[in-house]
Copies of this chain bind each other. A is one copy, B any other.
């Protein structure tokens, strides 16, 4: 990786994910890692163990994002075809005698294992090697107001703070709150200002707090 990465994509590979046999668990770890590095994960694709589909997708994602991470399909058996699918792109496969599978970074594509324990280990390497372009700042507010009742206020806040990404997440069965509102951006002052503006306009007595 040269320079700072602004955007990322992920390709999650495996029949077992699409059949529901396995609950995919690597993505959220990757997403949090990238977030903390200041890299925006823009697109995730999940595909079965099929050479042509994987090769085409890796090429498309690599062309349109600064960095790409694949997960899965790097074991030794017949259904582990990610390395072969990536290789036509001009990859060099770097093997280590002491490891049962190699770590490959080909152009801007990181080929990571699907086994969650192994995936998490490799994220340490990602943290050490990938530099993000900007740090994200996040603030949250929870309230017991329903999302539909919040909508007029939210619309005003969104319009008044164009550089802050504002999210609204209803919770159905949580006794602590009904809606979580999030404020995200790269400028901490602007993020904090949007949050304060929102809190100041909540109805008086409306319980709100950081989670």
Interface residues of chain A, those whose CB is within 8 Å of chain B, are 12, 15-24, 27-35, 40-49, 53, 75-79, 100, 115, 117-118, 136, 138, 147-148, 150-151, 154-155, 158, 165-173, 182, 184
Q: How many copies does the complex hold?
A: 2
* Chain B residues with CB under 8 A of A117: 172-173
Give Cα A42–Cα B54 distance, bound, in whole angstroms: 12
* Chain B residues with CB under 8 A of A118: 172
* Chain B residues with CB under 8 A of A45: 43-46
Docked-complex contact B35 and A184, CB < 8 angstroms = no
Docked-complex contact B151 and A76, CB < 8 angstroms = yes
* Chain B residues with CB under 8 A of A48: 42
By beta carbon, the residue of chain B nearest A171 is B115
Docked-complex contact A78 and B155, CB < 8 angstroms = yes
